[in-house]
Amino acid sequence: MRWHVLRDPNLRVLLAGQTLNMFGNSAMYIVLAIWVKDLTGSTSQAGLTFLLIAISTLLAPAAGMVADRFPRRWVLFVDDILTGLLVASLLTVHDRGDVWLIYAVTFGYGCSGQVYRAARGGLLHSMVPGELLGDANGLFSSLSQGVRIIGPIVGAAIYTSAGGGAVALVNVATFFLSAGSYLLLRRLPDLARPSTQDGTREPFFQEVIAGLKHVARHAVIRRLVLASAVAFTGAGMINVAIFALVDEGLHRPAAIIGVLGGVQGVGSVIAGLSVGPTMRRIGEYATASIGFLLNGVGLAAAATATLPGVVAGAILVGLGLPMVLVAEITLVQRRTPAEMQGRAISASDAFIDVPFAIAIGVGAAVISVVGFRPIYLSVAASFTLVGLALLRYTSVTRPSAESTVDETADESAVERIDDRTPDRAPDPA
């Protein structure tokens, strides 16, 4: 990890605000499902909260268009304020008859996340020089994983002691504080849409699908996005199979899943801090390939259904996931025009998340028939084959000797943070 990137005061402010945002979200997500389970007594109705969040991926192209039509800083500000107000409505939930409101908030949460990822990715592209994007993305990935270790624990503790309304209040506060952090950003490079000769815009539908077309037509981006889609489609079934692994394989209570999540999170924190330098040395494809292979080995180890194997698997998956995800978003950012960042990021997310969501449903349907081990082994094989297949293309994104970034180059890159190209107009604030 090159810490020079944190010399930018705007990035430090953004990082502080995002820490609050991620903490509140990670605390709230798990509580939404627990709250529904307590009110209805139904596991399937509780599981519907995760499905609603996944379904929101279908709106990703529209979310990307919003992030590409308005300055990203203000998109994030409005998104946080509106989502905070939406979460505040959970204070009116009292009994089973109010479960519909939890579902509505959950779906809104998912839609908010689509806008958030598109706008933040575009904002980072404007703020950070291209050679440091991997470091910035890795830093945010590491932060996200670290917060996920403690956020659900804190959320569950507050829910147990004070109820869902108290967790909602905490989450509302984190959204408003995060929104306030955007107001502290100064001289911020942000989106400036290129003007057309006749002053007209593309037709609305064409604007919406432009990101999908860009990802589909750009061979370098398409290859990595499709590789991720294939691998993560199977991974959706792991979200279901892990409960059977713990119950039938380890013969442990479901609570151990939280511990395993913490172990995985530690691996992800480490990987997030190292993925930027790794991409500078070997490129996005090779980094992602290593990540796919680590996931494959980790899932195979977990399939042994022994405690050492499952713990080792959690560590390897924790190391592998950020390598794939950070490499993918960094590649999209680096090879997409500034005015299309939001739509391209949203489109790549949709290509991966839609089949992932479908796989969750498939996993729920087949787990009682095939058991956890065939699912783990088949998904492990999928990750491994994808990683091996991608190895043959690593030269496509391998940095040349002349473009290798050393410490001096990092220093000059940070100095260029306020020296932007014309398509990244400075914000008057």
Average pLDDT of every residue of the chain: 82
Is pLDDT at 36 greater than 50 in this prediction?
yes
DSSP calls for 350-409: HHHHHHHHHHHHHHHHHHHHH-HHHHHHHHHHHHHHHHHHHHTTGGGTPPPGGG---HHH
Q: Do 1-188 and 209-399 show the same overall fold?
A: yes
pLDDT number for residue 194 = 53
* Tens-place pLDDT, residues 103-161: 999 999 889 988 998 888 888 888 877 777 788 888 888 878 778 778 877 888 888 88
Question: Above 90 in pLDDT, residue 261?
Answer: no
The answer on pLDDT for 283 being more than 80 is yes
What is the band of 401 on the pLDDT scale with cuts at 50, 70, 90?
low
Q: Which fold has domain 1-188?
A: Growth Hormone; Chain: A; (1.20.1250)
Looking at residue 289, what is its pLDDT?
A: 96
Give the range with max mean pLDDT: 16-25, 190-199, 309-318.
309-318
Q: Kindly state the average pLDDT of the residues 43-50.
A: 74
Q: What is the pLDDT of residue 188?
A: 73
Beta bridge partners of 426: 189
Distance in angstroms (rounded) separating the CA atoms of residues 80 and 184: 15
pLDDT band at 192, cuts 50/70/90? low
**Segments making up each domain of the chain, as ranges:** 1-188, 209-399
Reference 126, options 345, 326, 277; nearest CA is 345
* Stronger pLDDT, 382 or 276, i.e. the higher one: 382
Task: Name the nearest CA neighbour of 208 among 55, 353, 345, 63.
Answer: 63
Q: Alpha-carbon distance 346 to 91, whole Å?
A: 31
What stretch of H or E contains 211? helix 204-217
Q: What is the mean pLDDT of residues 390-395?
A: 93
Q: Are 374 and 251 in contact (CB under 8 A)?
A: no
Select the more confidently predicted residue: 385 or 185: 385
- Mean of the pLDDT values across residues 180-188? 86
Q: What is the distance between the alpha carbons of residues 43 and 248, in angstroms, rounded to a whole number?
A: 18
User: What average pLDDT score do residues 208-232 get?
Assistant: 90
62-90 pLDDT per residue, tens: 888 888 888 888 999 999 999 999 999 99
What does the pLDDT read at residue 420? 38
Mean pLDDT of 328-346: 88
| Residue 421 pLDDT | 33
Q: 389 falls in which pLDDT band (50, 70, 90)?
A: very high
Given a cut of 50, whether residue 419 has pLDDT beyond it is no
CATH fold label, 209-399 = Growth Hormone; Chain: A; (1.20.1250)
Q: Is the pLDDT of residue 406 over 50?
A: no
Looking at residue 426, its pLDDT comes to 30
Of all residues in the chain, the percent with pLDDT exceeding 90 is 31
The pTM of this model reads 0.77
Give the pLDDT of residue 51. 76
